[in-house]
Amino acid sequence: MDLGLTGKRALVPGSTKGILRHVVEQLVDEGCDVAICSRSPETVARALRELSGGRGNVFGRACDVLDKDDYESWIGEMAEAMGGVDIFIAGVSAGGGDDSEKNWWKNFEVDVLSTVRGCEAVVPQMQQAGGGAITLVGTTASLETFGTPQAYNALKGSLLVYGKQLSQSVGRDKIRVNSVSPGPIYFEGGVWAMLKDTMARWFEKTLREHPQGRMGTPEEVASCIVFLSSPVASWVSGTNMVVDGGFTKRVQF
C-alpha cells in the first residue's frame, strides 16, 4: 500500500532511539522528509549518518524539549529547512517511576508541556500548508490500572483528553489529531529490558498475562503511528489507537 507520504514533511522530536527511531526509519523509507532531535549532539550526528541515503531527507540538531526557546527554535528551523510541516509526532517522555514528587514535575514538563508547546508551534505551520496530521504517543498504562499510582500513567492519560479536544478545534483547518497507546514493548535499552533485569518477577508476570505470550516490538507500534500520520488515514481523527496485542482487558466501545 502506498501511504502517500512521498514529499511530506515530518517533525519527530526525541527520535534517535526506541519506537520513535523506528517511526523515523519508516517515514524515510516512504519518501518523507523528517526532522529529528535529542539532547546529545553526538547522538543526533550518528542518527543523521545512519539515516542518510534513504528515499526521504533527514534533518536535525541537538535540542532539549524542556527548554521552551530552544524547542520552539528547533521547530522553526526544521520547518524552514524542509519547507513546511505536514506531520508532527509527539512521543517524548520522562518515563515511569513512583519514587518521589519529582516524577510528577518531570512527566508534566516532558510528556505534557513539551507536547502542548510542540502542537501550538506546528498548528500555524500546518494551517499555512493547508492541513496536516498530529499523532501523540501515549500508553495503555493510562487506560486501565497498571502497576502502582504514578505520574506517567496519569499524565499520559491527560494527553488523550488534550488530543481529542485539539482534534475538534483544528478539524476545520484539515488538521487531524490522533493518539497511539502502546502496551508493553520490548527492545534492548528500553524500559522493559531494564525491568527484565531489575524486576524479573514483575517482567515474567506481565509476560504470562499477555494473551500472545510475548511483548510487542517497536516496529509494530511504529507502523501504526506512521499509518495514522499518513494521508491514507484521512478520515481518522480524534481517536486513540490501542496497540497492545490484546494485552488490556477493557472493552473498547
Is pLDDT above 80 for 160?
yes
Q: What per-residue confidence (pLDDT) applies to 98?
A: 72
What's the predicted TM-score (pTM) here?
0.96
Q: Mean pLDDT throughout 47-52?
A: 96
Is pLDDT above 90 for 100?
no
The three cell numbers of residue 242 are: 490501542
For all residues of the chain together, what is the average pLDDT?
A: 95
| pLDDT 10s digits, 13-30 | 999 999 999 999 999 999
Q: Distance (Å, rounded) from C-alpha 33 to C-alpha 35?
A: 7
Least confident of 60-64, 94-98, 156-160, 179-183: 94-98
Q: What per-residue confidence (pLDDT) applies to 97?
A: 76
- In order of their start, the domains of the chain are 9-185+218-243 (3.40.50.720)
Is pLDDT above 90 for 147?
no
Q: What per-residue confidence (pLDDT) applies to 232?
A: 98
Distances (CA, A) of 90 to 99, 201, 236, 247, 250: 26, 32, 17, 23, 25
Q: Quickly state the pLDDT bin for 102 (edges 50, 70, 90).
A: confident
Q: Quickly state the pLDDT bin for 146 (edges 50, 70, 90).
A: confident
Is pLDDT above 90 for 188?
no
